Structure 1
């Protein structure tokens, strides 16, 4: 299957291309991208939720694709992770 490469605030993420008729594809793509960003931080879900100041359950719902995360939130989180990695704080 073909993959698309996304650059989310400096974090490169490969996502499998989906059928255009798939209504849930965007939600799953965002959930996958969020998971990759969290993994880039080196933290588990609990640590990441505390670090972001986001309720664990909300973060879990985003990562599992049960709730759609706003695109601007994904970009802000990616920006924070990229900057903290660059500064050597994570």
Structure 2
């Protein structure tokens, strides 16, 4: 899995998009699953509002844990 931690090469919105795409969910599914208002994620992804760095880190952690749990189930 790619490392999505913020760095100077990527904007937070690009990292959010990559993180969402790594879940294989579209924006609507992602918002429902994480209980985030659709317009909030849409504004973040379009650069209209900034994604809080702490939120991005928490979201990344949660997605990683979910994916690890799924991998264990498959073994």
Whether 1:40 and 2:22 are equivalent positions in the alignment is yes
Q: Which runs of 5+ in 1 are unaligned?
A: 1-9, 18-27
Larger radius of gyration: 1
Unaligned runs of 5+ in 2: none
CA distance in 1, matches of 2:8, 2:18: 13
More helix by share: 2
Structure 2 match to 1:49: 31
CA distance in 2, matches of 1:75, 1:16: 15
Backbone CA RMSD of aligned residues: 2.2
Task: Tell me how many residue pairs correspond in the alignment.
Answer: 69
Judge conservation of contact 1:45–1:56 (CA < 8 Å) in 2: yes
Q: Which of the two has greater strand per residue? A: 1
User: Any runs of at least 4 consecutive aligned residues in structure 1 with deviations exceeding 4 A, and if so which?
Assistant: none
Residue equivalent to 1:60? 42
Q: Contact conserved, 1:11 with 1:78, CA < 8 A, in 2?
A: no
